Amino acid sequence: MAKSVALLMIMAICYLKAIASSQVNIFLLAGQSNMSGLGGVVMNIWDGIVPPECSPNPAILKLGANLQWVEASEPLHADIDVNVTCGIGPGMPFANSLLNKTSSLGIVGLVPCAMAGNTISQWQKGTFLYNQLVKRTKAATLQEFGVIRAMLWYQGESDTVRPSDADTYKGKMQQFFTDLRSDIGMPELLIIQVALASGLNYTETVREAQLYPDLANVVTVDAKGLQLHNDNLHLTASSQVLLGHMMAHAFLQRISNTSSLIGSQY
């Protein structure tokens, strides 16, 4: 028994040393329920099925609710978005896709920050969600643990209900992105956002803002047409896998392109 414990301790120490000596590429994950991930969740019950593209990998870490790094696994947002039943989201397939396509990438660190049911107003500077995002971002980079590469952003369904929210979405989105970049000291932070796959009466108004953000270093991937659950709101697990691949492709394309694109779409 003692030998087994000692062996586990040695393995853990070796693992931590490997992480410390590797480049950790950090990605922020923010938005509402489709970023939290409700793939495979029906009637508030997750089916427990983890697609191969979402499998754990020792090279994929996540910053837990306690601000400690652990090996990432689905449901990625389970300890963050605690008021809903989380399932499959785009984060794990995104990370696995990056590692599969770029062997030299090193370690991927995911920082889940999404919460279901919020509007863009609830992400403005000074709000709880904004403050949590900034806090977790700064915690992720303590002691030069890694480098923030991008924020993955999927939000807006709640802003399609009322015309006043939809009409002011673009300005609030721009302000949120600008404030965040300033407060974390990354004025050119790459933001990969998702144009909505679902919504209510004013979906196209919000999508228009997302497809044409008019800000530098904001790349938009379009989720329109991806399969939804029967609620016509949340992406299925297979759609979340596809979305993760789309976001990974957009990231790799963007960093391989040295020109400064504004509002790129994929």
What are the residue numbers of the active site?
33, 231, 234
**Residue in 265, 252, 241 with CA at minimum distance from that of residue 91:** 241
CB neighbourhood size of 111 (10 A): 27
- Residue 106: half-sphere exposure toward Cβ, Cα within 13 Å: 14
Q: Read out DSSP for 182-206?
A: HHTT-TT--EEEEE-S--STTHHHH
Beta strands in 49-146 (DSSP E): 60-63, 69-71, 107-112
Percentage helix, strand, coil, to 5, in the chain? 40, 20, 40
Q: Return all residues near 260 (Cβ < 8 A) that are at least 6 apart.
A: 216, 217
The amino acid that residue 109 corresponds to is: G
Q: Which residues pair with 46 in a beta bridge?
A: 41
